[in-house]
Amino acid sequence: MVYIKAMQENSENDAAMRNQIEKGRLQINVTSDVDSYPVSDAVISVSYTGVPDSTLEELNTDSSGQTEQIELNAPPLEYSLNPSIEAQPYAEYTLDVRAPGFEPVSISGAEILPDVTAIQNIRLRPAVPEDTGEEVFVIPAHTLYGEYPPKIAEDEIKPTNESGEIVLSRVVVPEYIVVHDGSPRDTTAQNYYVKYRDYIKNVASSEIYATWPDASIRANVLAIMSFTLNRVYTEW
């Protein structure tokens, strides 16, 4: 009886938590893909991902290319702090961006966590007469929530006597990181040049939650930086 009662109480607590709605914040920065200048007077429609025809908010960028901060519904904070809870810890929103003289952009799956501010940077390409399509970006599930294949295993100790493996005389912080969008053997995959700071920020955003304690975030970011600089230093 005690066990059954405890199960009932846990079920009631889970139901109460599911019904609890908290608030997260969102701010959007819009710049030109050509010269990184801010894009003013851009119109952004915000809707739930999966319900794109139901606009929740419509925002405009100012002369700095920024929108005001808005509050959006988010799941309970406990979802992102307790790894035993299997419920999705963030809400997903779709952002449709329109600006005079630029191609429209749609971003699906922007993640909003409770009690923190999500900053979505958007770069718009100048419109050309022959291109009337919309550029669409779909943000995949967070790595802590989605199901992904395991990391390819590597030897902890790597040989250093082969030419071309260690090319730097000292560890340096690069300005750009070359991201190969595919497996190392896939020569058809595209390479992207991403600023180092943006790369670290983007990896951290996809691997940890912004609701975590400050010390946890700092420890994870240091680990990401160490791993990245080791890749740059050894060119492994």
Last residue of a domain, one of 138, 164, 189: 138
Pick from 64, 175, 68, 65: nearest CA to 124: 65
* Cα separation values, 132 from 31, 38, 125, 127, 175, Å: 20, 22, 12, 8, 34
Which has the minimum average pLDDT: 37-41, 99-103, 212-216, 229-233?
229-233
Percent of the chain with pLDDT over 70: 86
Q: Which pLDDT does position 3 carry in this prediction? A: 52
**Does pLDDT of 165 surpass 60?**
no
Question: Do residue 107 and residue 202 come from a single domain?
Answer: no
Give the mean pLDDT of the chain.
87
**Does pLDDT of 80 surpass 90?**
yes
Last residue of a domain, one of 103, 138, 173: 138
48 within 8 A of 73, measured Cβ to Cβ: no
Q: Residue 40's CB: how many other CB atoms inside 10 A?
A: 15
Question: Do residue 128 and residue 161 come from a single domain?
Answer: no
Q: Residue 94: helix, strand or coil by DSSP?
A: strand
Q: 43-64, pLDDT tens digit by residue? A: 999 999 988 778 999 999 999 9
- Is residue 168 included in any domain, yes or no? yes
Where does the pLDDT of residue 213 fall: very low under 50, low under 70, confident under 90, or very high at 90 and above?
Answer: very high
Question: Do residue 79 and residue 155 come from a single domain?
Answer: no
Torsions phi, psi of 209, nearest 5?
A: -100, 140
What sign has the CA pseudo-torsion 140, 144, 146, 149?
positive
Where does the pLDDT of residue 151 fall: very low under 50, low under 70, confident under 90, or very high at 90 and above?
Answer: confident
- Is residue 80 included in any domain, yes or no? yes
Where does the pLDDT of residue 85 fall: very low under 50, low under 70, confident under 90, or very high at 90 and above?
Answer: confident
Total domains in the chain come to 2
Greater confidence (11 vs 59) lies with: 59
Relative orientation angle of helices 214-234 and 196-207, to the nearest 10 degrees: 130
Q: Are strands 135-138 and 105-112 parallel, antiparallel or unpaired?
A: parallel
- Is residue 163 included in any domain, yes or no? yes
Pick from 147, 88, 83, 135: nearest CA to 114: 88
66 within 8 A of 37, measured Cβ to Cβ: no
Where does the pLDDT of residue 2 fall: very low under 50, low under 70, confident under 90, or very high at 90 and above?
Answer: low
Q: Residue 236's CB: how many other CB atoms inside 10 A?
A: 13
Which has the minimum average pLDDT: 91-95, 182-186, 192-196?
182-186
Last residue of a domain, one of 89, 105, 138: 138
Cβ burial of 142 (10 Å; 0-12, 13-18, 19+) is: buried
Question: Do residue 32 and residue 131 come from a single domain?
Answer: yes
Instruction: Give the pair of three-digit tokens for residue 37.
Output: 């200048």
> What's the mean pLDDT in 162-175?
70
38 within 8 A of 128, measured Cβ to Cβ: no
Q: 86-112, pLDDT tens digit by residue? A: 899 999 999 999 999 999 999 999 999
Domain of 33: which CATH number?
2.60.40.1120
| Domain carrying residue 80 | 22-138
> What's the mean pLDDT in 175-180?
91
Greater confidence (77 vs 169) lies with: 77
Question: Do residue 130 and residue 45 come from a single domain?
Answer: yes
